Amino acid sequence: GKMAQDMTEKELLKMELDQLKKEVKNERQMISKTGKELKDYIESMAGEDPLLKGVPEDKNPFKEKGGCIIS
């Protein structure tokens, strides 16, 4: 694909139209409903969220294995 700055106005409009054709098929729902569902889901998963509860040192794949000595 071309970069947007290299496209003609007609190509950009066609790309936008193609995207809108895809989006118009999406089922829409009220944010009052989906917002509550999303909040409930996030709260139900909070106990397993490593960003909230941390990662045990022995299970942390990013923990530094050793130090570095400069002499």
pLDDT at 24: 95
pLDDT at 4: 74
Q: Does residue 65 fall inside a structural domain? A: no
Q: Does residue 17 fall inside a structural domain? A: yes
Q: Does residue 54 fall inside a structural domain? A: yes
Alpha-carbon gap, residue 43 to 49, rounded angstroms? 10
Q: Does residue 55 fall inside a structural domain? A: yes
- The model's pLDDT over 26-55, given as tens digits with 9 standing for 90+, comes to 999 999 999 999 999 999 999 999 888 888
- Helix, strand and coil percent figures for the chain, each rounded to 5: 60, 0, 40
CATH of the domain at 22: 4.10.260.10
Q: Does residue 67 fall inside a structural domain? A: no
Instruction: Provide the whole-model pTM.
Output: 0.46
Q: Does residue 19 fall inside a structural domain? A: yes
Q: Does residue 66 fall inside a structural domain? A: no
- The model's pLDDT over 1-24, given as tens digits with 9 standing for 90+, comes to 667 778 899 999 999 999 999 999
Structural domains counted in the chain: 1
Residue ranges making up the domain that contains 55: 4-59
